[in-house]
Structure 1
Amino acid sequence: MPVPAMSLTTDLQALLQPAGEGQTQPTQIQRPQAAAPRGWETGVRYEPGGTMVVTAPATEQPPNSEQDWRERVEALGLAIPEGFRVRLTEARHDPAAWHRDAQGDDAVTRPVWRCRYVIEPAAPAWLSFGDVDSLVRDAMRRRRKPRAALETAERALVVVYADAQAGKVGRDGGTPELVARIAERFDRLDDHIRDLKTVGRAPTAAYWADAGDCIEGFENTGQQAFTNDLTLTEMVRVHRRLTFEGLDRLAGRFDRVVAATCGSNHARVRRGKDAVGPPVDDWGIEVLSQIGDAYARNPAAYGHVSFVMPERWRDTVSLDVAGTVVGLAHGHQYPRPEKAGDWWRGQTFGRQPVADAQILITGHYHHFRAQQLGNGRLHIQAPTLDNGSDWYTVRSGEVSASGLLVFSVGPEGWDDLRIL
């Protein structure tokens, strides 16, 4: 219903008249107090689990004791639950905060303390079940849950054959010593496979990863012409027969075997020190290709063995090993072993074969090294199988220990890494 115009005019005139005796004055407008700095506004924030974060009003006196903390929090009207405590988490001194002591007074500056507290359980939740001794005792006495059966899960054995450099003569001998050393490592490989079966982690497939430098060559350094004990074709022949032996041992024990190799510096076909042809012009890649041709002639015995080699203009490969992408590179692509991570990251940006690898296997630097990189990636640098790098020992005093590196890959990642 509309209000009559006369009524509105009368009410307006009444408001404009001076207040008579006993008439209540209109409430005086409150001037705003100084706002607290951002983030220090008085209030309470409730966290999961019942914890409260309390920002108290500024005070002139600093907090002195736990009782003082409690009183300042309770002054806000908060009740401290039983079993909870008040803890000071932050105290900040403001030397020039401004105030207005009384309504209408001018603002003045005065130092104050701004404090933040937390109301939390007096003890961690797990302590409610007993003391530390009982906690550890109960955890150690618990019964282990039976391991879930993984009937279809693949466990793969990876054998890394790196830097044999057939034909090289060094402190540990020449070709006879190299062949004997590798034969002894193959015997240790048989023992390792048996040990994995004994502990219930028997592999269901095997991967032969040749990390390069299978032969010494003649074009890498001038001394090779005087220190090698084999001709170039003999180096290739020795490497081929050693690889045949290693793959035969795996082929006779596993229903699936994958053999892979990569390009390297010693095995690269060269004229002088210059590489000839594309990256796949490599004696190690050629030898694995020869073995693949030979196995193809007898599918009844070797039909379960497959071969992986780099593309024509690449010198690295990647394999799907039991659901984990494993990359294989020689390692001569970067100047120092510490640079492996930088090189690998660059390969990822360049979408090269090892870009998606979760595990990267390399050789070249003749000593074992393992390093976790990024989010769950692993670089494994394999030890050498050769007769020793005397030039490096003379220069640095370091001596590389020979060995055949093995590890397993399963549904939960890699394990059982050993140097045989």
Structure 2
Amino acid sequence: MNLEEHLDALLSPASGEQSTPPEITRPAATAPKGWEPGVRYEPGGSMLVTAPAADAPPKDESGWRARVEELGLAVPGGYRVRLVEARHDPAAWHRDTQGEDAVTRPVWRCRYLIEPTVPGWASAEDLNSLIRDVMRRRRKPRTPGEQPARALAVVYADPQAGKVGRDGGTKELVARVAERFDRLEDHLRDLGKVGRAPDSAYWLDAGDCIEGYENVASQAFTNDLTLTQMVRVHRRLTFEGLDRLATTFPRVVAATCGSNHGRVRRGKDPVGPPQDDWGIEVLSQIADAYGMNPDAYGHVSFAMPETWRDTVSLNMAGTIVGLAHGHQYARPEKAPDWWKGQTFGRQPIADAKILVSGHFHHFRAQQLGAGRLWVQAPTLDNGSDWYAMRSGEVSQPGLLVFSVTASGWDDLRIL
């Protein structure tokens, strides 16, 4: 072929039989996304097999096994094949033989699981070995340097100094509080014996430090102290409790919150901002006194609410603990909803993981949300007879204590 003939051949249109390869003119028979044939290896040695489309799924394990083996997979000994998913496609492209045109007709798409006949965890022998090995394991003792920071919380709630009730008056209150302080020393000794001695202490005054005269009319006839005497008794009891902590721990934090009995009132109405509270004032007086002797009390610090707030939060060994009296809600059952609202409103206890409250004169603890804890402290007062007559419930006095680390809380007791 000369040059002109060669050019003519290149420029001439090709014949119809050779214009397009047959494979391109036929529609492609592809599987939907996620149903492409293949094998996925699962943890534990199982295999998830997606088989090509077929007319109908096999009816039993022998058919399932044959379907899997058609793909060139060998089922190991001690394994079984199980149909785990079958999906009917009423209008699927399907090609019977390579090279033939694809046609539209119903097909089934199936997945099979090749798994051990007896899972390892279900073997009685393996299960016995697992339990035996776990029970024989012993935790390695921690060295002193590995001990996490640990804080002690002492919740001093509702003493209501000056109140007279079924359990006595001021004399009985002072004796009760002194006994709880002695039990606190026993508790600290117990924690030391089990290797969980705290390295700091937090005095959490949950409010209602005095009984007062202005909340209800009956208070004028059920007290055995004047108002200034009530404040004096509360100050001296608080000073004693803090002094015991200050001589025991290298770091002490004292905190309080606003409350209804402690609030300065005219009748039932509060006077001034929430900070106008006898409990807050007493702690402020003690802070002033401690500040005069930094050699003895320089390691004691104080936390009180802001002027227009009645709650506080403290970072105790890496865990945020909130303190509120509890008079902000009508019933103890409302505490969780109130706490949620405070969180949404970015109030002082918004970031607290543990909320401590008083007011309702009985112990209660409830886990909330993702790892939060609400603890309602028992009372230290001489009894709430009006509530006992109305409900039949009788509050048991006590001093609430618990420990806190960055991981959470433990060693909760009522002394």
Question: What whole-Å deviation, never above 9, does each CA across 1:21-74 have from its counterpart, x for those lacking one?
Answer: xxxx967954555x7666555443344554332233455655543333322322
CA–CA distance in 2 between the matches of 1:97 and 1:211?
72
Shift of 1:387: 2.2
Q: Is 1:184 equivalent to 2:179 in the alignment?
A: yes
SS in 2 for 1:208: strand
- Compare 379-388 and 80-89 and name the one that shifted more: 80-89
Distance 1:90 1:225, change over 3 A: farther
Distance 1:12 1:59, change over 3 A: closer
Match of 1:6 in 2: 8
Match of 1:332 in 2: 327
Q: Is 1:118 equivalent to 2:144 in the alignment?
A: no
Q: Is 1:141 equivalent to 2:136 in the alignment?
A: yes
Match of 1:21 in 2: none
Distance 1:408 1:101, change over 3 A: closer
SS in 2 for 1:166: coil
Match of 1:378 in 2: 373
SS in 2 for 1:185: helix
Match of 1:262 in 2: 257
Match of 1:88 in 2: 83
Shift of 1:341: 2.8
CA–CA distance in 2 between the matches of 1:26 and 1:256?
87
SS in 2 for 1:54: strand
Match of 1:155 in 2: 150
CA–CA distance in 1 between the matches of 2:206 and 2:264?
17
Match of 1:22 in 2: none
Match of 2:340 in 1: 345
SS in 2 for 1:164: coil
Question: What whole-Å deviation, never above 9, does each CA across 1:75-107 have from its counterpart, x for those lacking one?
Answer: 333332444432333345x49566879878985
Shift of 1:301: 2.6
Shift of 1:148: 3.7
Match of 2:400 in 1: 405
Which letter does structure 1 place at the counterpart of 2:235?
A: R
Q: Is 1:317 equivalent to 2:312 in the alignment?
A: yes
Distance 1:106 1:321, change over 3 A: closer
CA–CA distance in 2 between the matches of 1:26 and 1:300?
99
Match of 2:409 in 1: 414
Distance 1:117 1:171, change over 3 A: farther
Which letter does structure 2 place at the counterpart of 1:374?
A: G
CA–CA distance in 2 between the matches of 1:3 and 1:367?
110
Question: What whole-Å deviation, never above 9, does each CA across 1:175-218 have from its counterpart, x for those lacking one?
Answer: 23222222221111111011111112122221111011111222
Given that residues 150 and 317 in structure 2 are in contact (C-alpha distance below 8 angstroms), is that contact kept between their aligned partners in structure 1? Answer: yes
Match of 1:20 in 2: none
Question: What whole-Å deviation, never above 9, does each CA across 1:146-174 have from its counterpart, x for those lacking one?
Answer: 22432674322110001111222333333
Which letter does structure 2 place at the counterpart of 1:188?
A: R
CA–CA distance in 2 between the matches of 1:4 and 1:390?
119
SS in 1 for 2:217: coil
SS in 2 for 1:237: helix
Q: Is 1:365 equivalent to 2:360 in the alignment?
A: yes
Which letter does structure 2 place at the counterpart of 1:278?
A: P
CA–CA distance in 2 between the matches of 1:176 and 1:221?
23
**1:251 aligns with one of 225, 246, 250:** 246
CA–CA distance in 2 between the matches of 1:27 and 1:254?
86
**1:281 aligns with one of 276, 279, 284:** 276
The alignment yields a C-alpha RMSD, in angstroms, of: 3.4
CA–CA distance in 2 between the matches of 1:5 and 1:399?
113
**1:238 aligns with one of 210, 217, 233:** 233
Question: What whole-Å deviation, never above 9, does each CA across 1:272-294 have from its counterpart, x for those lacking one?
Answer: 11111111100000111111222
Distance 1:351 1:99, change over 3 A: closer
Q: TM-score, normalised by structure 2?
A: 0.86
SS in 2 for 1:150: helix
CA–CA distance in 2 between the matches of 1:200 and 1:26?
83
Match of 1:193 in 2: 188
Distance 1:197 1:147, change over 3 A: same
Which letter does structure 2 place at the counterpart of 1:231?
A: T
Question: What whole-Å deviation, never above 9, does each CA across 1:265-323 have from its counterpart, x for those lacking one?
Answer: 11110111111111110000011111122222333332222221112122111222122
- Where in structure 1 are there 5+ consecutive unaligned residues? 18-24
Given that residues 28 and 102 in structure 2 are in contact (C-alpha distance below 8 angstroms), is that contact kept between their aligned partners in structure 1? Answer: no
SS in 2 for 1:223: helix
Which letter does structure 2 place at the counterpart of 1:6?
A: D
CA–CA distance in 1 between the matches of 2:268 and 2:68?
79
CA–CA distance in 2 between the matches of 1:188 and 1:63?
74
CA–CA distance in 2 between the matches of 1:16 and 1:187?
105
Distance 1:27 1:292, change over 3 A: closer
Which letter does structure 2 place at the counterpart of 1:327?
A: G
Match of 1:170 in 2: 165
Question: What whole-Å deviation, never above 9, does each CA across 1:115-151 have from its counterpart, x for those lacking one?
Answer: 4322234444567995211221122122332224326
CA–CA distance in 2 between the matches of 1:362 and 1:292?
23
Alignment length (residue pairs)? 409
CA–CA distance in 1 between the matches of 2:113 and 2:341?
47
Match of 1:388 in 2: 383
